[in-house]
């Protein structure tokens, strides 16, 4: 890209103490169409240069009162970033002398006696160079401006990120961490929060890439993490949600290496899921062992949720045990000679001093010592979580808890009358409510089937009185649903369906009791009878499904009320 330089006639400065030589050159240049400014010596040359701002300067080498070489130096300095060609005028012919002119700061020399053709050619050549120089200058300014904008954008992005990423839990007494303030632009992110169930959840992530693309993934990650921990969701649910979101939103090829810790302070156990980050470590108190937390999974965002596995590895923790995590920034930290800190050095640190309560500081110190004056962009991320004794654990839990919890024990009665039965589909609303119990949310698709069956049975067999046996053939199947549609248009005025939900938590998880009552006379749900010949049964499957999905199904006489009990188990 080159900007058009306005083509005003080129202005040339001639400095020569010989009036004759000055005149000859001036005449030649004016004949060529250039504007000319004159100077009699080096001092005048400098002054005229400052006032007239010529495009090109001819300097006689030998002049009184500041010679050509000194004048050239001053003129070049005054020109600054602008390229003003300086051509020495000289009668010298030997190579060393001519070379010395150029060494002294000149761009070219012109030998006397002057040749007009040569002069014109040289001026044209230098003019091209000036245009090139000006283009470069403009481009450089543009790049500087763009760079400044990028930095401003990053600052704004970081502010948004800091607001989403709640760092207050990182200030808990049992957590120590080191991360560069601009870490999010290296893709590194550290999140921690305490759930209502007494679990400290920690997530260390490392997104591929650098700059804004790396930072952008951190926002949905942090948003989902804090939202779900707050509501009491378990590690697998949270990981699944994050993986799904990132899988859908990140472009192909971008992913997030991560390690997720679920440290339950009451149950004294640790659940770890690790995908793609360097192996973490459990540094046992009393100095007997170091256990490595191996990464067994693909990083987040790569697999679709169908293939994603959120299986965790379980460990028991005792007071004083320390869990250490880090991103690959430590291994890859380079010193001034470009040598990496490396895995061996890190492993040696971990394994040599087994009962080191200062292990966090030691690792950090050794890495920083290694880097020395080296890298400007420090990409080191290190986290230590120390498992507390009972007293401190209670304190920590108290510090961490705030904000909304999740549904525990509750009940809900929902009654649909004729006008609603005709047009309203209650499933999304009901599932939305049951989803507020994290333990039920993980069984969403099963609950849909259960509630849908109960509700449809109540409407079709109960209120509308349709017999399931109508669906005995494909034609019957179509007829059944035609009758259903017709029936909904002509509902008896005072018909209704009531759904009663009642949920209670217990030590192992919880139980949801669903009772569906309709205004009909009562029906008997027929069950599937498996026929040996494999003849397809078009009806009666629903009840078999209910039986297998629920802990119990009871039909209350006279048959217009069905009760299902659905149990869910808490993650360990």
Partner 1 sequence: MSINSSLSSDGRTLTIAVDGRFDAGSLDEFRSCYESAVRDGPIHFNVDLKRAEYLDSSALGMLLVLRDYAGGESASITISNCSPEVKKIFAISSFEKLFTIQ
For binding to partner 1 (CB under 8 A), which residues are involved?
306, 425, 427, 444-446, 448-449, 452-453, 456, 471, 474, 477-478, 481, 484, 528, 530, 534, 536, 538-539, 541-542, 544-545, 548
Nearest-angstrom CA–CA distance, 161 and 214: 12
| Whether 208 contacts 255, CB under 8 Å | yes
| Whether 387 contacts 319, CB under 8 Å | yes
Beta strands across the sheet bearing 256-264: 188-194, 199-207, 256-264, 269-275, 313-316
CB-wise, 116 or 469, nearer to partner 1? 469
Give 269: exposed, middle or buried? Use CB within 10 Å, 0-12, 13-18, 19+: middle
Q: What is the DSSP string of 538-551?
A: -SSHHHHHHHHHSS
User: Cβ 258 to partner 1, closest distance in Å?
Assistant: 24
Find the radius of gyration of the CA atoms of the chain: 41
User: Cβ 538 to partner 1, closest distance in Å?
Assistant: 6
Q: Which two tokens stand for residue 428?
A: 């999304």
CA 22 to each of CA 28, 58, 60, 87, 492: distance values in angstroms, whole numbers, following the listed order? 10, 10, 10, 14, 116
User: Cβ 482 to partner 1, closest distance in Å?
Assistant: 10
CA 126 to each of CA 34, 37, 130, 131: distance values in angstroms, whole numbers, following the listed order? 14, 18, 6, 9
User: Cβ 249 to partner 1, closest distance in Å?
Assistant: 17
User: Cβ 303 to partner 1, closest distance in Å?
Assistant: 13
Number of H helices, E strands in the chain: 17, 20
User: Cβ 179 to partner 1, closest distance in Å?
Assistant: 38
- What 3-state class would DSSP assign to 275? strand
Q: Which two tokens stand for residue 32?
A: 């060529």
User: Cβ 445 to partner 1, closest distance in Å?
Assistant: 5
User: Cβ 447 to partner 1, closest distance in Å?
Assistant: 9
Upstream peptide bond of 510 is cis (omega within 30 degrees of 0): no
CB-wise, 356 or 452, nearer to partner 1? 452
Nearest-angstrom CA–CA distance, 46 and 258: 65
Give 435: exposed, middle or buried? Use CB within 10 Å, 0-12, 13-18, 19+: middle
Nearest-angstrom CA–CA distance, 196 and 231: 7
* 473 alpha carbon, distance to own chain's centre: 54
CB-wise, 96 or 428, nearer to partner 1? 428
CB-wise, 114 or 538, nearer to partner 1? 538
Q: Which two tokens stand for residue 113?
A: 């006696």
CB-wise, 28 or 427, nearer to partner 1? 427
CB-wise, 38 or 550, nearer to partner 1? 550
CB-wise, 7 or 548, nearer to partner 1? 548
User: Cβ 456 to partner 1, closest distance in Å?
Assistant: 7
User: Cβ 557 to partner 1, closest distance in Å?
Assistant: 24
CB-wise, 215 or 463, nearer to partner 1? 463
CB-wise, 101 or 416, nearer to partner 1? 416
Nearest-angstrom CA–CA distance, 542 and 549: 11
CB-wise, 20 or 530, nearer to partner 1? 530
Which residues, including other chains, have CB under 8 Å from residue 571's CB and lie 6 or more apart?
234, 235, 236, 271
CB-wise, 422 or 484, nearer to partner 1? 484
User: Cβ 546 to partner 1, closest distance in Å?
Assistant: 9
Please report which residue ranges of 32-168 form alpha helices under DSSP H. 42-52, 68-79, 95-103, 116-164
Nearest-angstrom CA–CA distance, 339 and 366: 14
């Amino acid at each position: 890209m080159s900007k058009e330089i306005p083509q005003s006639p080129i202005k040339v400065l001639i400095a020569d103490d010989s009036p004759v030589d000055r005149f000859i050159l001036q005449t030649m240049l004016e004949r060529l169409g250039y504007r000319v400014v004159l100077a009699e010596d080096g001092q005048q040359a400098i002054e005229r240069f400052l006032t007239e701002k010529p495009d090109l300067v001819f300097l006689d080498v030998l002049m009184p009162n500041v010679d050509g070489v000194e004048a050239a130096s001053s003129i070049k300095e005054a020109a600054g970033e602008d390229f003003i060609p300086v051509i020495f005028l000289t009668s010298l012919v030997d190579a060393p002398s001519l070379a010395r002119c150029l060494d002294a700061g000149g761009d070219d020399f012109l030998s006397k006696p002057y040749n007009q053709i040569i002069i014109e050619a040289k001026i044209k050549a230098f003019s091209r160079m000036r245009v090139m120089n000006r283009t470069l200058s403009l481009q450089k300014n543009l790049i500087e401006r763009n760079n400044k904008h990028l930095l401003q954008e990053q600052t704004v992005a970081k502010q948004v990120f800091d607001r989403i990423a709640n760092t207050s839990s990182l200030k808990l007494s049992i957590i120590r961490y080191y991360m560069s303030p601009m870490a999010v632009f290296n893709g590194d992110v550290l999140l921690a929060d305490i759930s209502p169930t007494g679990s400290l959840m920690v997530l260390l992530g490392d997104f591929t890439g650098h700059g804004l693309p790396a930072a952008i993934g951190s926002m949905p990650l942090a948003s989902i993490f804090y939202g779900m921990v707050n509501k009491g969701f378990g590690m697998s649910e949270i990981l699944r949600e994050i993986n799904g979101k990132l899988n859908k939103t990140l472009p192909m090829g971008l992913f997030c290496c991560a390690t997720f810790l679920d440290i339950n302070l009451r149950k004294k156990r640790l659940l770890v899921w690790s995908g793609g980050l360097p192996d973490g470590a459990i540094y046992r108190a009393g100095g007997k062992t170091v256990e490595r937390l191996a990464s067994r999974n693909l990083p987040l965002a790569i697999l679709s949720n169908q293939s994603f596995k959120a299986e965790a590895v379980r460990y028991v923790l005792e007071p004083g045990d320390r869990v250490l995590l880090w991103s690959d920034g430590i291994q890859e930290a380079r010193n001034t000679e470009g040598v990496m800190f490396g895995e061996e050095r890190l492993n040696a640190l971990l394994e040599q001093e087994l009962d080191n309560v200062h292990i966090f500081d030691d690792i950090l110190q050794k890495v920083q010592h290694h880097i020395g004056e080296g890298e400007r962009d420090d990409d080191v991320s290190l986290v230590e979580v120390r498992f507390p004794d009972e007293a401190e654990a209670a304190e920590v839990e108290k510090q961490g808890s705030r904000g909304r919890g999740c549904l525990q024990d509750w009940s809900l009665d929902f009654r649909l009358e004729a006008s609603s039965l005709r047009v309203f589909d209650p499933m999304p609303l009901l599932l939305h409510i049951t989803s507020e119990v994290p333990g039920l949310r993980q069984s969403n698709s099963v609950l849909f089937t259960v509630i849908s069956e109960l509700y449809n049975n109540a409407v079709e067999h109960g209120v509308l009185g349709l017999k399931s046996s109508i669906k005995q053939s494909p034609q019957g199947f179509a007829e059944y649903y035609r009758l259903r549609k017709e029936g909904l248009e002509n509902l008896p005025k005072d018909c209704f369906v009531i759904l009663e939900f009642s949920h209670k938590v217990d030590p192992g998880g919880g139980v949801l009791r669903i009772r569906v009552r309709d205004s009909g006379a009562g029906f008997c749900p027929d069950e599937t009878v498996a026929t040996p010949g494999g003849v397809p049964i078009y009806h009666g499957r629903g009840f078999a499904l209910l039986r297998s999905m629920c802990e119990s199904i009871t039909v209350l006489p006279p048959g217009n009320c069905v009760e299902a009990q659905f149990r869910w188990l808490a993650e360990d």
